[in-house]
Chain A
């Protein structure tokens, strides 16, 4: 084997080559950015979405957690929501009636994420125990009223930051982790099917915070990381990322596919959201808030969601704001954090109901809130 000195020289040379090539790549990409979505939309004469402050009403406040809410997920079919909290519990809510259908006390209280299975029969959660626990909602509680775990997915070497079931597949789940990898699991056997990153090159080089599976092509998912990049993965090819997306200047806290399945949105510690084109890698738009008068650091984006058409981008921030961005014009058209009946703390998570009629936000104020557009038909039709 060559001497350490030789290797160090080789390493330095390789690093310099990588840096130089990255810079060339960056410049070449910049040349291809002939416009962004906002400029293009303005040229076409598009007008921004216009909201009255009372248009997106808070129709439910779900109270019951005794700690900060960290994560939430809707069922694909019914109007149920699962939420995870610092109080060490998962709560399943019927969002229509505000009732709690399940309150699950977790073995490991440091939970960070939760998800509903596609059939609504199970929920998954994960956190600082570095594992993902699955609960079947039809199970009987034991004598102490605790719900038994039906499966624990172990193997991660760091905290589980995010989890999502593969749409239409009750048996498969993808997790992201502080160990810099994402994993595809078989829930029925508890086995890891594939590991994305880690020992293999082209994986993330820091904690992974978020995943989003493409519902138009469930073989593809994106992951956002503290290495400030997003990576696209094909679940059939774990050995390398399909593409890496650069642009953010801080941890990427949240990633979500755009409804058309060809783009995805991101939210970051750098205070911006971005829209990337999946296939080409182009950064199509930056959603950047105005700095405040005192020029303080921008609040971080904690979580994002698109409306069902993609025209609206909802972004929760660390200071309690919840901006509604017009995706096309890159303008803030409403701040849900500034309205009557807003949360009293940071928005940590948000999610859209499957029919796009309601947005749920979860907050460090321990509550969840459901917002919908004000009634369009005659009010209070009795059912």
Chain B
């Protein structure tokens, strides 16, 4: 499963995104190139920019980046710690909220009440007045492209 399985950042295991391997200042041009990797005929079932396979640790980085590994490491670590601290804060706020929060049953009652509110054309039995326009799907419509009545090909009735 992608994303935050355990806590905030998982720095040891890049999440399969090209931008993890770029220097901080670099534009994410590679990001869009990654999308073309997908078999062109299909919508990406495995999302283009976050594959499940971890990228190999030994990336063929150009020599100039090797010198910066220490700096990039510290920079990224500090940023990750800052994000974790903010998340801690927001989790604490949420915990405080829960102290005085009403249980789920209150919302369940609201859900039940609200479904009785509107007339629903797709229900066998529905509250409120039925609207004759709901049946427009059954009216014969003269096609403007021919003199024939609209044909019901592909429908359940003729």
Contacts and interface: CB of A to CB of B under 8 A. Distances in A.
A373 B116 contact: no
Contacts of B73: 4
Contacts of B117: 260, 309
Interface in B80-129: 80-88, 90-92, 94-95, 98, 101-105, 107-112, 114-124, 126
8 contacts: A2-B74, A7-B78, A54-B156, A59-B157, A178-B50, A309-B120, A372-B137, A383-B139
Contacts of B84: 11, 14-15, 17-18
A355 B31 contact: no
B67 interface: no
A219 B92 CA distance: 25
Contacts of A46: 112
B49 interface: yes
Contact of B74 (A4, A22, A41, A206): A4
A61 B154 contact: yes
A229 interface: yes
Nearest to A312: B122
A35 B144 CA distance: 55
Contacts of A55: 124
In the A-B complex, the 6 residue pairs with the closest CB atoms: A61-B154, A227-B3, A15-B7, A309-B120, A14-B84, A260-B114
B3 A341 contact: no
A158 interface: yes
Given A51-B124, A205-B4, 16 more contacts: A15-B6, A21-B92, A44-B112, A59-B137, A60-B137, A128-B35, A128-B36, A128-B44, A157-B28, A159-B44, A179-B49, A206-B3, A227-B3, A283-B104, A357-B122, A357-B131
A306 B108 CA distance: 17
In this complex, the member of B47, B77, B115, B117 whose beta carbon has the largest number of chain A beta carbons within 10 angstroms is B115
Interface stretch (A116-124, A143-151, A163-171, A374-382): A374-382
B118 A259 contact: yes
Interface string A359-383: 1000000010110110111011111
Interface string A43-77: 01010011100111111111100001010000000
Nearest to A348: B43
Size band of the interface chain B makes with A: 35 or more
B11 interface: yes
B124 A110 contact: no
B116 A309 contact: yes
Contact of A130 (B35, B44, B122, B144): B35
A149 B40 CA distance: 23
A310 to B, nearest CB: 5
B105 A34 contact: yes
A16 B123 contact: no
B44 to A, nearest CB: 7
A327 B156 contact: no
A202 B93 CA distance: 13
Contacts of A383: 139-141
Contacts of A68: 42-43
B156 A207 contact: no
B1 interface: yes
B141 A380 contact: no
A357 B137 contact: yes
B103 A34 contact: yes
Given A36-B108, A275-B111, A373 B74 contact: no
Contacts of B77: 4, 7-8, 10-11
B31 A36 contact: no
Given A355-B131, A376-B135, A308 B121 contact: yes
Of A32, A158, A250, most buried by chain B (CB within 10 Å of CB) is A158
A179 B31 CA distance: 8
Contacts of B121: 308, 355-358, 372-373
A356 B91 contact: no
Given A206-B15, A372-B134, A19 B35 contact: no
Interface string A91-122: 00000111100000000001010000000000
Interface string B138-158: 111101110000100111110
A25 B94 contact: yes
B3 A11 contact: no
A172 interface: no
B94 A207 contact: no
Nearest to A260: B114
